[in-house]
Each structure stands twice: as structure tokens, then as C-alpha cells.
């Protein structure tokens, strides 16, 4: 696109000056202006669940736009928001009875952090610390960067970030270290909340850990009166095989964050769900105990209608069966790499599959990352590696043949770019 004035996210324009234009999205594909199409193997940054432009979601957007646009949500309400809140409470783990709307994954986490600190302040037992898991990612706003891993991503903004208590990632064989560390930092009751990505750490490298660890973290949190915040922005809406990843650990968090797949990926919306205890701590005739947060587009009616249509798709269509089928295909697809010398650590969780390419350098800024992305794009495939970590997180409408084609390309990439052990 000649003469563009657009500054793209996570893009070094000096190295990637040509940005393809997409003119149509449909199912699992993005269509370029030149007529070619690209298989969206990462659901356009993990947001698209059923497929691009699902007809029921598009119809809900069109119908609602004929009667509603943005309404101030302080002092007013509307039916799409009310219906969606009831639906979310019914779908979420038990005990999450209140829904606070925002407009992105990052803002849903900011809301959760403020809820946790406000809760303890309002009950007269203030706590000032947040515990986080090593390698985690929760967003790119100041608060969410503070509770995420320190890296090149946020080095320039370090003066703005607040301190946190970090517990190690529960790597295989070292899980007890994680539990012991959390028990230690929670013991003095200064930690307001532990925030985790349940079962899968996304941007940290698609790192996966067993549900039993999440169960134990919740037990420790309860024993110390610490709140558990489940960041289900990426893991929710079926990605790990269940509606929410917490279900696999039989855990009900105190606060749950959801976005991305909330609208099926069609339009921005986020929600932070909280227990009645947290709501009641802010419910008072003392106006100083008000939950002081909002964004201009809180509970946008059109976005809420899209989310409601998404919920109806889950209720009326065989979404669980599609997820189970895709999960099985991911396990089968990884089998060919078990003895492949160019790859290591083949892993999957529900619809997510990942494997590490043996390369001379690792990490997000490794030179191999852009080379792999260009290699796949030349073949009409949107695979966006996290450095040397290759992952597939496709929409649920992907076919077995399309998935096989993705694995064929990954195998070819290994032979071309990989290093032998």
C-alpha cells in the first residue's frame, strides 16, 4: 500500500516495509487484494473461534446497529448487556456472579487488578502486592506489563512498572518449586492476588502445565486469603478443550478475565467476572468505595449482541464436537515430529499445538522468527512463530486437509531452517 500512514503493532517497519492488504475474510481464510488467500492458522492473534464472519454473528451486528450504537454505561443499561451478563454467569465457573465490561484483554486484566486491590482496601485490610507467574503475558498497558514477564517488550517502560512477586513456571519435574514459592510469598498476607494464565502461557512461548498445579495454586490462595485471577483472555472459549481452562482443574477463580473469543473474534469486547464478595466490598453508601473504572465504549451494544450470538452458536451448534475433533487432529499431527531431529518439545492442549524448532538462537527476537514467518506466508499460510516456537491455533472450522497442509509446511521449514542436536 503506497503512501500508508499506518503504524502497525509489533512491526519493525524498517525491516518489513511491505504490508499486504486484506480485502475479504471468510471461514479460515484471509483474502489479499491480489486475489490470493492465506490460511489463518493463528486465528488472527487468537481471536477468531468459529471462523471469520460467522453468519449469525454478522447478522446480530447488523440487526443491533439498526437500533443502537454506543450508550453511556454509567447510569444506563441496555438489553444486549443484560442478556450477555446472565449468559456469562451461567457459562463461567460457579461463584462468578458479577460482570464488568471493558473493551480488550488488557483492560479486562487492568479491571481485575483494580478490583483485587479495591476489595482489600474496602474491607479494611489493605494489601499491596500482586503475585505473577514467570514467563507470563497479560497485555501491553502499564498495569498488565507490570504483571507480565520483563523483557525487551517493556524494557523502555521499566520506570513506570510496579514491583510484583514472581513464582517460577511449573516446569516438568520442578512443579513443587512453584507451589513452595507461592506459599512463601502469600504467607505474610501482603499479596492481594495471584494472576495466572490457566494451563497455557501464550506469548511466553505456548508453555503448558498440568491442571493439578492450578488446583494446588487455588488451594494455597484460599489458605492465605489471596484472590486468584484467571486470565482466560486467550485460553477461554474452547481453546484448551473446555469452555474455560479453569474447568479442567475444577477451579473457580475469584476473578476471571475474558475477551478475544468472547465475540467469536468479530468485534472488540471484554468482560471481567467477579464473585459477590468482591462486588459487596464495593457496594456501600460511602461513595469512596465505588469501583472507579470505565472506558468510553464499556458494554458497546453492538459488541454485546455479537457476543450473544457467539453464545447461541455454542448452544445450538456442535462446537464442543468440533473442538474435540480439532484437538484430536492436533495430537495426531504432532506425531510425525516426535522423532524429527529438527524439533523438540512437541506439545498440545486442546486446540493449541506447539513445538520448538532447534535453531542457533531462541527467543522472540531470534532471527529465525521473521524468516519462518516469510517462509509460511510465501506458501499462503499465516503462522506467526514466537521466535523459534512454532504454534498452531486455528479457527474451529479448519479441515483435516488444511491442518495436514500446515504440518507439511512446518516439516519443510524444519528441514530448511532447523539445526540438528
Question: For residue 23, what is its C-alpha cell?
Answer: 480485502
Residues 307, 357 within the same domain: no
Res 365 pLDDT > 90? no
Is 13 part of any domain? no
Handedness of CA 202, 203, 207, 212 (dihedral sign): negative
What is the average pLDDT score of the chain? 96
Average pLDDT over residues 340-364: 93
| Cβ neighbours for 378, distance < 8 A, ≥ 6 positions apart | none
Please report whether residue 37 resides in a domain.
Answer: no
Question: Do both 306 and 356 map to the same domain?
Answer: no
Which domain CATH number covers 93?
3.40.640.10
Same domain, 336 and 391: yes
The verdict on residue 12 lying in a domain is no
Q: Are residues 219 and 364 in the same domain?
A: no
Tell me the C-alpha distance between 94 and 215, whole Å.
Answer: 15
In degrees to the nearest 10, what's the CA dihedral of 303, 305, 306, 307? 90
261 and 209 in a common domain: yes
pLDDT digit string, tens, across residues 278-289: 999 999 999 999
- The pairing of strands 29-32 and 37-40 is antiparallel
CA dihedral 323, 328, 334, 336 (to 10 degrees): -150
248, three cell numbers: 479442567
Query: By the 8 A CB rule, do 369 and 393 touch?
Result: no
Q: Could you report the per-residue pLDDT of 98-143, keeping only the tens digit for each?
A: 999 999 999 999 999 999 999 999 999 999 999 999 999 999 999 9
Q: Strand locations in 111-209, DSSP E?
A: 129-133, 165-167, 191-196, 200-201, 207-208
- pLDDT tens-digit series, residues 27-63: 999 999 999 999 999 999 999 999 999 999 999 999 9
Encode pLDDT of 274-325 as tens digits: 999 999 999 999 999 999 999 999 999 999 999 999 999 999 999 999 999 9
Nearest to 350 by CA among 319, 326, 321, 384: 326
Of the candidates 303, 129, 323, 342, the residue with the CA atom closest to the CA atom of residue 243: 323
Distance of alpha carbon 98 from its chain centroid, rounded?
21
CATH number for position 331: 3.90.1150.10
Q: Are 352 and 405 within one domain?
A: yes
Residue with cell 505456548: 206
Answer with the one of 316, 347, 371 that is the final residue of a domain. Answer: 316
Domain co-membership, 300 together with 330: no
Both 220 and 366 in one domain: the answer is no
pTM of the model: 0.97
Helices and strands, number each (H, E), in the chain: 12, 16
Query: Does residue 340 share a domain with residue 271?
Result: no
Task: Judge if 81 and 147 occupy the same domain.
Answer: yes
Q: Clarify whether residues 308 and 354 are in a common domain.
A: no
Is the confidence at residue 66, as pLDDT, over 70?
A: yes
What is the number of structural domains in the chain?
2
- For residue 1, being part of any structural domain is answered with no
Q: Which domain holds residue 310?
A: 57-316
Amino acid at each position: 500500500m503506497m503512501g500508508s500512514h499506518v503504524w502497525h503493532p509489533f512491526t519493525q517497519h524498517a525491516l518489513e516495509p511491505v504490508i499486504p492488504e486484506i480485502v475479504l475474510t471468510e471461514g479460515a481464510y484471509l483474502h489479499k487484494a491480489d486475489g490470493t488467500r492465506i490460511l489463518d492458522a493463528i486465528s488472527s492473534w487468537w481471536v477468531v473461534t468459529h471462523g471469520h464472519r460467522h453468519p449469525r454473528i454478522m447478522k446480530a451486528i447488523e440487526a443491533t446497529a439498526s437500533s443502537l450504537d454506543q450508550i453511556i454505561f454509567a447510569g444506563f443499561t441496555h438489553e444486549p448487556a443484560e442478556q450477555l451478563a446472565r449468559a456469562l454467569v451461567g457459562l463461567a465457573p460457579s461463584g462468578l456472579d458479577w460482570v464488568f465490561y471493558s473493551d480488550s484483554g488488557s483492560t479486562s486484566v487492568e479491571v481485575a487488578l483494580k478490583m483485587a486491590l479495591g476489595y482489600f482496601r474496602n474491607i479494611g485490610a489493605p494489601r499491596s502486592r500482586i503475585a505473577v507467574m514467570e514467563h507470563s503475558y497479560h497485555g501491553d498497558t502499564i498495569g498488565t506489563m507490570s504483571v507480565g514477564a520483563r523483557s525487551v517488550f517493556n524494557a523502555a517502560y521499566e520506570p513506570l512498572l510496579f514491583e510484583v512477586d514472581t513464582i517460577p513456571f511449573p516446569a516438568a519435574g520442578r512443579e513443587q518449586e512453584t507451589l513452595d514459592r507461592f506459599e512463601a510469598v502469600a504467607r505474610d498476607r501482603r499479596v492481594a492476588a495471584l494472576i495466572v494464565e490457566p494451563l497455557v502461557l501464550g506469548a511466553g512461548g505456548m508453555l503448558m502445565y498440568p491442571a493439578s498445579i492450578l488446583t494446588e495454586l487455588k488451594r494455597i490462595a484460599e489458605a492465605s486469603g489471596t484472590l486468584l485471577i484467571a486470565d482466560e483472555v486467550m485460553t477461554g472459549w474452547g481453546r484448551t478443550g473446555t469452555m474455560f481452562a479453569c474447568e479442567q482443574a475444577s477451579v473457580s477463580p475469584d476473578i476471571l478475565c475474558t475477551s478475544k473469543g468472547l465475540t467469536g473474534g468479530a468485534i472488540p469486547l471484554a468482560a471481567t467476572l467477579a464473585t459477590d464478595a468482591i462486588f459487596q466490598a464495593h457496594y456501600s453508601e460511602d461513595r469512596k468505595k465505588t469501583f472507579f473504572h470505565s472506558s468510553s465504549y464499556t458494554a458497546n451494544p453492538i459488541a454485546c449482541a455479537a457476543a450473544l450470538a457467539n453464545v447461541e452458536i455454542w448452544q445450538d451448534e456442535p462446537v464442543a464436537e468440533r473442538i474435540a475433533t480439532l484437538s484430536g487432529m492436533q495430537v495426531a499431527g504432532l506425531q510425525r515430529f516426535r522423532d524429527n531431529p529438527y524439533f523438540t518439545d512437541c506439545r498440545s492442549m486442546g486446540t493449541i499445538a506447539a513445538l520448538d524448532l532447534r535453531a542457533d538462537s531462541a527467543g522472540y527476537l531470534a532471527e529465525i522468527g521473521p524468516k519462518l514467518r516469510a517462509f509460511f506466508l510465501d506458501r499462503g499460510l499465516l503462522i506467526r512463530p514466537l521466535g523459534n516456537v512454532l504454534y498452531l491455533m486455528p479457527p474451529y472450522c479448519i479441515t483435516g486437509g488444511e491442518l495436514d497442509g500446515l504440518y507439511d509446511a512446518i516439516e519443510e521449514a524444519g528441514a530448511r531452517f532447523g539445526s540438528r542436536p
